[in-house]
Amino acid sequence: MGWQKTFTLSQRSKGCHLVTDEVYAHITPGIKDVKVGMLFLFIQHTSAALTINENCDRDMDMALDNIVPESLNWMHTDEGPDVSHTKTSLIGATISIPITDGHLNLGTWQGIYLTEFRHAAHSRRVVATVL
């Protein structure tokens, strides 16, 4: 039997934001009785992404800005130089995390990150599915 919930993350501006605790607050009812399972998180946007990384990494935003710089000759500029769609494709819209005994089975230093690529703050919708 599966469980699913769509929730909204707090507004954040450009950067890589650790959101593990915020995600936990939304998914606890869906994972608390799961002995062995999987959590799938899907972000419903093309200008932000989800990833798992070291939970105190401050270099991700800088590295992504160097890999996909705003200074390229972008054709899609309705909201400024639009690096966001390219970065979203590189990082991804979905992550999967094992569930063991009602808890996310993340590594010691791992955390869930929202990578926001827009300069202005946005709230982001995430679909959580537990199987």
Task: Check whether 104 has a pLDDT greater than 90.
Answer: yes
Band (pLDDT 50/70/90 cuts) for residue 27 is very high
**94 phi/psi in degrees, rounded to 5:** -135, 140
Extents of the domains making up the chain: 3-68+80-130
Q: What is the pLDDT of residues 48-57, one digit of tens each?
A: 999 999 987 7
- Whether the Cβ atoms of residue 117 and residue 48 lie closer than 8 Å to each other: yes
**pLDDT of amino acid 13:** 95
Tell me the CATH class for 3-68+80-130. mainly beta
Give the full edge-to-edge strand order of the sheet including 36-43.
Answer: 3-12, 122-130, 36-43, 94-100, 103-104
Q: Please give the C-alpha separations between residue 13 and each of 87, 97, 117, in angstroms, as whole numbers.
A: 15, 25, 8
pTM over cut 0.85: yes
Nearest to 45 by CA among 78, 93, 109: 93
Band (pLDDT 50/70/90 cuts) for residue 79 is low
**pLDDT of amino acid 26:** 98
Task: Check whether 3 has a pLDDT greater than 70.
Answer: yes
Task: Check whether 74 has a pLDDT greater than 80.
Answer: no
Q: Which residue has the tokens 């608390």?
A: 32
Q: What is the pLDDT of residues 112-126, one digit of tens each?
A: 999 999 989 999 999
